[in-house]
Every structure is written in C-alpha cells, then in structure tokens.
Amino acid sequence: MEEMEVVKSLAALAQPLRLRVFRALVIVGKEGLTPGTMSDALGIPAATLSFHLKELMNAGLVTQERASRHLIYRAAYDRMNSVLGYLSENCCQGAQCLDETTAACKH
C-alpha cells in the first residue's frame, strides 16, 4: 500500500461521524447496512450520512452495492487490513512488541 493511500484513509477516519459510520459497518460485518438503518441507529440525518458515506467510499474504506431498491454499504475489510498492515509493518524492528505477560494483561 502506498503512503498517500494510507493518508487518504486515515484522513477520512479523522472525522467523528465518519469514524462512527465506519465502525458500525465493521461491527455488522459482511451483511452491511442500508443508509436508513445507519441513519436511525446512529442518529445521523440522511443527507449528512450520504455525504460521509461518499467520503468513506472515496477513501476506499466502504463499498456500495445495489440490492433491489436498496443500497447496501459494507466496510472494505481488504483496505482496512492494508492500512493496519502498513501502520504495523516492521513494528519493533521485527521483534515481539509486547512480552507475553504484558500481552495477557491487555486482554
């Protein structure tokens, strides 16, 4: 993944409503959500939600699929995983970052 793609993704997530929308899509999984369901669940007006969904799609973090008369939005897990991979690539210069005791306490 290129640095500018990572920056674009992180910039999209650096807005509170977009972060909430993306997290909701990650939580629901592959089933995805319709805009109406997201609007109701998150308390975001439809026009505002539409704007933020377009920004997330532009950053490659969300996909859109038409199912009959409905639009289904899903988190783009491949993109999310690529961003996370880029951020953690060469973490701790290849050494284990946390010892087993510390890692166990984090859970």
The pLDDT value given to residue 1: 86
What's the average model confidence in pLDDT over 11-37?
97
Angstrom distance (rounded) from CA 50 to CA 89: 33
The pLDDT value given to residue 91: 77
Confidence of residue 90 (pLDDT cuts 50, 70, 90): confident
- pTM comes to 0.83
- Would you say residue 107 has pLDDT above 60? no
Dihedral-angle region of residue 64 (phi above 0 means left; psi in -120 to 50 means alpha; beta otherwise): beta
> Which DSSP helix (H) or strand (E) runs through 45?
none
